[in-house]
A and B are shown apart, each in its own frame.
Chain A
Amino acid sequence: MLRSLPGLLSAVLVVAAPVRAADFERDVAPVVAKYCGACHGAQKPKGGLDLAKYRTAADARADKPVWKTVAESLRGREMPPEGKPQPTDAERKAVEEWVAAALAEADLGGARDPGRPVLRRLTRLEYNNTVRDLLGLSTDLFPFPERLPFKKAYFDPAAGKLPPQVRVDAYEYGARIPALLGHAGLPGDNRAEHGFSNRGDALNLSPLLFEKYLAVADDLLAVPKLAQAAPRLSGLLAAAGRPSVKAKLAEFLARAFRRPAADAKVEKYLRPYDAAKARGATEAEAVRESLAAVLASPDLIFLSEPLDPKQGPVRPLDGYELAARLSYFLWASAPDDELLAAAKAGTLADPAELERQARRMLKDRKVRELSESFAVQWLRLNELWSAHPDRRFKTFYSGPQGKGTLHADLMAEALLLFEAVLVEDRGVLDFVNADYGYLNKRLIAHYGLTEQFKKQMEDGGLLAPDDRAGLAVQRQKYSTAEQQWIRVRWPDRTRGGFLTCGAVLTLTSTPQRTSPVKRGAWVLESLYNRPPAAPAVMVEPLDEKPAEKSGKTVRAKLEAHRSNPACAGCHAKIDPPGFALENFDPVGGWRTADGPLPIDAAGVLPDGRRFDGPAAFKDAVLAKKDEFVRGFVEHLLSYALGRALEHYDTPEVERIAAAVARDGYRLSRAVAEVVKSYPFRHVRNTPDEGAKK
């Protein structure tokens, strides 16, 4: 028992028997001094990390994030570096266990730290979705670029299966997407560094944005036949007389603010109505004044988890707060009626009910946002449209003067993989190594697989004659055949998973060449959630002459670069995954040579895992599945919480990752365990920043 649950139980033991202090001094400090002291001592410590100053357990506890890094470096065999004396397995284990226990300690007045509450402004996507659902619109409220230019008729998560052939209608980026207010909108939100755009600390509210909320409200309320366009508003718009308006407004506020409005609050929101009536406004005009206040209200615009002075330093979230966390996590929108009912009934306090609700929500079409918001940001697919490959990569461009591009096709390929896993509740390991994928005619040609999939394309009608004509060609409208996507079984393991998606390979390349550094950094950040640090020293730019002229491959140029010892440490981690993908050109096409020079896709990871190409690299990743699963869980949990993860989240991440592994790595298990997790259900309840770091 003790061995199987070291984290949680040792946390209890810490409280019960303070023998751990001796353990640090007996088991940890000597190991660190022996193996790390030469570089990380008090004299000119490498990387500014002085480990000699931690003499007692109390010293170390005061700096837990540092010790989290120490333990991870040991576990990942990154430190001590190759060629230096290595600790024994028992020594490594002792350090890792002490750190794991320290991270799981209940150091917030006897409770574990669930993280501070995050006051979080709705993102543009969330505001759109919230108001859309609040009013019952059949379209978006306004157009905005995070809404990807796809019609998603194929996306039906309740079916439990993505069909073997789907039709994807892509709009030209910037084309009109159906929206109630064609020209209204809000400014966009920047994503947090190494994080998602929904992170509370990264979201601002400017005077201009506030005026935009007012303008959106004005535009909305000026829509002719608003009651028809917004069925959920029709009752309120039709209400006449203060008592009737008040009753309808109370219902509306409960949905807008995601919890029932007390009578005093309803009265407050009737003030604009009363003021307008006193001015002689009509009933309809007066109701609109109150509606405008709702649409610009902090209760709508912010997700807040206020302090409760009656409770201790940690409090469980109430049902309405949990309902909001659930719905903004999975739908990027407000809770629906069923969630609000569960919140009212108090059943969400039961983790089993939380899981049941999450599983219900995963079957709703609104879960598309998990693909279009979470996955797009997780994989940095939002940067795809900024990639502008050189014109010599001809298959990327089409149409007159090559003004049509593969951006939308590559995006669809990546989304369809995520959505297949999501809809079919497959294992998240498919993200690394799937033997299937979705392709259309253009991508099949782009990847050079026309011969392999000829029969399947014929059967699916993908080889129908081109039916484009006239202006449609100029606008790069798809022909009917190009809208058809078929599920393929990859002929071999060089393709499959996000690593080998053209979208990822393109967005991590420069216009002229591949960038093993950018690709490697993508792997570290997206797959492992361990983004490399920014370069510490200025480096000479790489010789940009193509291989034909320079006589060197990109890899050879980089290797020369890495001879600089200041660079070698980090690049030993960053570059190898990039080398593994060198068989893919800057737009994701397969290649065996760079100009006249053969590609070398072999490499070795810091812990000694070797590979000789993309398939073997995937094997190397899967040899340590846990590291990938942990990275994925961290991304998912950070997105769900709307905050960066902290050292005290580590035990929960480990717990969730273990549960995911036990359940066949299913995506739904990851979602269920996230929503049942301690930081998802609790919040720090201290008035200052008082929790210990």
Chain B
Amino acid sequence: MTARRIDRRTVLRGAGVALALPVLEAMAPAARGAAPAPPRRACFVYIPNGVRLDTWFPKTQGPKFELTPTLEPLAPVRSEVAVFGGLDRSFVPGTGVHAQCGACWLTSSPPTETKDGGFPTNTSLDQMIAREVGRDTALPSLELSCNDHPDAKETKYFESVAWYGPGHAAAPEKDPRAAFARLFGRPKGAAGSRSVLDLVAEESRGLQARLGAADRRKLDEYLDAVRAAERRIRAAERAAPDRPTPGDAPAAVPQDRGAYIRLMCDLVALAFRTDTTRVATLVIDPERWDSPRAYHGVFDKPQNHHGLTHTKDPDAKDKIAKIDRFHVEQYAYLVKALKAAPEGGGSVLDNAAVVIGSGISDGNQHLYSDLPVVVAGKAGGALKTGFYKNYPGTVPLANLWLSLLRAFGGKQPRFADSTGTLPDVVA
């Protein structure tokens, strides 16, 4: 094994990637020539069940916005974030009230276009960005979730924010060990093995020889697909011997809630830093999740986040504010880690857009308007940061998504129900 190993403690412990920088510099793709523009990267962090609005949104708009109790953890990166209020989505009756919050948060379908049962799911923003910037990386995109609860009681509509197309969820990886293996290991699993691919390709050629002209063409689709899988696996095999692996895989899923989420953030940062992928989604918890969850260092006892949003007493509202702040702390950790990672004379954050948000605002009423969303990073200069902007009236969240898509090279005239881009954020 010629792989250079990086002590995983330097990478995956404590301050995460910040400590591992000297080694990671060695891992970044070598010799990119005379400093072409660094690649742009995007990460979307999803928080379920909405937020407490009065402790989330600032009162002052513009660059002098105040950091509310919930947003306070963003103080060190205040000038790197854009905070948005008043952006809206529409709920389409026909599914559960929570089912469209996360599932349709990033999708490019207008609410009236339901090609997937009752759901307006379609290719999601992250996947559209991956088409623009993800062609050259080992993984076009990375989908992660911080819910390793064993009962797996929710469907993809609650766990997935990334979609290849209508009804076709990009299921998230929940186990940091498996995610690590996918990023830095060889392709695994019996199904991807060479002997399996060789066999099914041979079988399809055998079948093809016995078919008429039209059916032969049809079976070409299958052969092309097998070849595509082979190409990917060969590329990974070629790359593997020289490619340093950043230490051993994480040993386990951390029991500490914050440590679990930060470990997943570390993986995103690692993947970006090593240019293994340029697009990631990170689901903090499934939508409508109501199994009690421990928030270490915040509460003594596990809390039912969804239940709290439907509990009418001041104590519950305070708890929601604390959970919101806890989530923003983890997001701030990721943003700071990317800011601390130098690249092309700036930081990885300078070339990225790192988004946090929820698909509903008020969890009790299941409101799909006035959604909380924060964007960190300037996407290589395509985006402006350092302000809070609230949009009165109905302004589609899709306008922000269209602005982001354009920042990553997308030429689409529209995104879902967008009515235009947001001039405030487009540089």
Point out residues on A near B: beta carbons under 8 Å: 116-119, 143-145, 172-177, 182-185, 187-188, 200, 204-211, 213-215, 217-218, 221-222, 268-269, 271-272, 275-276, 285, 288-289, 291-293, 295-299, 301-302, 304, 306-307, 385-388, 397, 401-403, 405, 407, 471, 474-476, 684, 686-689
Contact of A175 among B155, B159, B165 (CB under 8 A): B155
Q: Is the CB of A289 within 8 A of B195?
A: yes
Whether B213 is near chain A, meaning CB under 8 Å from some CB there, is yes
Q: Is the CB of A210 within 8 A of B215?
A: no
CB distance from B287 to the nearest CB of A (A): 10
Whether B207 is near chain A, meaning CB under 8 Å from some CB there, is yes
Q: Is the CB of B215 within 8 A of A119?
A: yes
Q: Is the CB of A272 within 8 A of B190?
A: yes
Please indicate the chain B residues that have their CB under 8 angstroms from the CB of A307 in the complex: 210-212
Point out residues on B near A: beta carbons under 8 Å: 91-97, 99, 103, 112, 114-119, 152-159, 164-169, 171, 189-196, 198-200, 202-204, 207, 210-215, 218-219, 221-222, 224-226, 228-229, 307, 310, 365-366
- Cα-based distance from A268 to B204 in the complex (angstroms): 13
Q: Is the CB of B225 within 8 A of A206?
A: yes
- Cα-based distance from A689 to B215 in the complex (angstroms): 10
Please indicate the chain B residues that have their CB under 8 angstroms from the CB of A388 in the complex: 92-94, 112
- Cα-based distance from A143 to B192 in the complex (angstroms): 23
Besides A272-B195, A407-B118, 10 more A-B contacts (Cβ < 8 Å) are A175-B96, A185-B168, A185-B171, A204-B221, A218-B189, A298-B204, A299-B203, A299-B207, A302-B207, A302-B222
- Cα-based distance from A538 to B4 in the complex (angstroms): 66
Please indicate the chain B residues that have their CB under 8 angstroms from the CB of A269 in the complex: 199
Contact of A304 among B117, B211, B226, B366 (CB under 8 A): B211
Q: Is the CB of B167 within 8 A of A188?
A: yes
CB distance from B338 to the nearest CB of A (A): 28
Instruction: Please name the 5 residue pairs, one residue from A and one from B, whose CB atoms are nearest each other, closest first.
Output: A210-B225, A306-B210, A207-B228, A385-B118, A214-B191
CB distance from B176 to the nearest CB of A (A): 17
Q: Is the CB of B215 within 8 A of A276?
A: no
Q: Is the CB of A116 within 8 A of B214?
A: yes
Please indicate the chain A residues that have their CB under 8 angstroms from the CB of B159 in the complex: 183
Q: Is the CB of B94 within 8 A of A405?
A: yes
- Cα-based distance from A302 to B169 in the complex (angstroms): 24
Please indicate the chain B residues that have their CB under 8 angstroms from the CB of A298 in the complex: 200, 203-204, 207, 219, 222
Please indicate the chain B residues that have their CB under 8 angstroms from the CB of A211 in the complex: 225, 228-229
- Cα-based distance from A672 to B384 in the complex (angstroms): 68
Instruction: Name which residue of chain A comes closest to B306, CB basis.
Output: A471
Contact of B218 among A177, A200, A684 (CB under 8 A): A200
Instruction: Name which residue of chain A comes closest to B97, CB basis.
Output: A403
Contact of B116 among A145, A183, A206 (CB under 8 A): A145
Please indicate the chain A residues that have their CB under 8 angstroms from the CB of B96 in the complex: 172-175, 475-476
| Known A145-B116, A211-B229; contact A296-B200, beta-carbon cutoff 8 A | yes
Please indicate the chain A residues that have their CB under 8 angstroms from the CB of B224 in the complex: 207
- Cα-based distance from A476 to B95 in the complex (angstroms): 10
Q: Is the CB of A174 within 8 A of B190?
A: no
Instruction: Name which residue of chain A comes closest to B116, CB basis.
Output: A145
Contact of B193 among A118, A268, A289, A403 (CB under 8 A): A289
Please indicate the chain A residues that have their CB under 8 angstroms from the CB of B103 in the complex: 174
Please indicate the chain B residues that have their CB under 8 angstroms from the CB of A174 in the complex: 95-96, 99, 103, 117-119, 155, 157-158
- Cα-based distance from A689 to B212 in the complex (angstroms): 8
Q: Is the CB of B190 within 8 A of A285?
A: yes
CB distance from A206 to the nearest CB of B (A): 6
Q: Is the CB of A210 within 8 A of B156?
A: no
Q: Is the CB of B225 within 8 A of A209?
A: yes
| Known A307-B210, A474-B97, A686-B212; contact A176-B366, beta-carbon cutoff 8 A | no
Q: Is the CB of A218 within 8 A of B225?
A: no
Please indicate the chain A residues that have their CB under 8 angstroms from the CB of B158 in the complex: 174
Q: Is the CB of A221 within 8 A of B365?
A: no
Q: Is the CB of A289 within 8 A of B196?
A: yes
Please indicate the chain A residues that have their CB under 8 angstroms from the CB of B211 in the complex: 117, 119, 304, 306-307
| Known A176-B155, A292-B196; contact A474-B171, beta-carbon cutoff 8 A | no
| Known A272-B195, A388-B92; contact A119-B218, beta-carbon cutoff 8 A | yes
Interface centre among B196, B229, B310 (most CB of A within 10 A): B196
- Cα-based distance from A291 to B190 in the complex (angstroms): 9
Please indicate the chain A residues that have their CB under 8 angstroms from the CB of B222 in the complex: 205, 210, 298, 301-302
Please indicate the chain B residues that have their CB under 8 angstroms from the CB of A285 in the complex: 190
Interface centre among B158, B166, B168 (most CB of A within 10 A): B168
CB distance from A434 to the nearest CB of B (A): 27
In the assembled complex, 22 residue pairs joining A and B whose CB atoms fall closer than 8 Å, in A order, are: A117-B212, A119-B215, A143-B156, A172-B95, A174-B157, A188-B167, A200-B218, A205-B222, A217-B189, A221-B191, A268-B203, A271-B195, A271-B198, A272-B196, A276-B195, A289-B193, A289-B195, A291-B190, A296-B196, A397-B93, A471-B310, A687-B213
| Known A145-B117, A210-B229, A269-B199; contact A275-B193, beta-carbon cutoff 8 A | yes
| Known A188-B167, A302-B219, A401-B365; contact A386-B191, beta-carbon cutoff 8 A | no
CB distance from B369 to the nearest CB of A (A): 13
CB distance from A454 to the nearest CB of B (A): 29
CB distance from B245 to the nearest CB of A (A): 21
| Known A173-B99, A301-B222; contact A145-B212, beta-carbon cutoff 8 A | no
Q: Is the CB of A306 within 8 A of B207?
A: yes
Instruction: Name which residue of chain B comes closest to A511, CB basis.
Output: B112
Q: Is the CB of A187 within 8 A of B167?
A: yes
Q: Is the CB of A271 within 8 A of B199?
A: yes
Instruction: Name which residue of chain A comes closest to B201, CB basis.
Output: A298
Please indicate the chain A residues that have their CB under 8 angstroms from the CB of B366 in the complex: 401, 403
Q: Is the CB of B169 within 8 A of A185?
A: yes
CB distance from A474 to the nearest CB of B (A): 7
- Cα-based distance from A294 to B96 in the complex (angstroms): 37
- Cα-based distance from A387 to B199 in the complex (angstroms): 46
- Cα-based distance from A619 to B45 in the complex (angstroms): 59
Instruction: Name which residue of chain B comes closest to A387, CB basis.
Output: B94
Q: Is the CB of A689 within 8 A of B214?
A: yes
Q: Is the CB of B191 within 8 A of A292?
A: yes
- Cα-based distance from A177 to B190 in the complex (angstroms): 28
- Cα-based distance from A291 to B24 in the complex (angstroms): 40
Interface centre among B93, B171, B189 (most CB of A within 10 A): B93
Please indicate the chain A residues that have their CB under 8 angstroms from the CB of B221 in the complex: 204-206
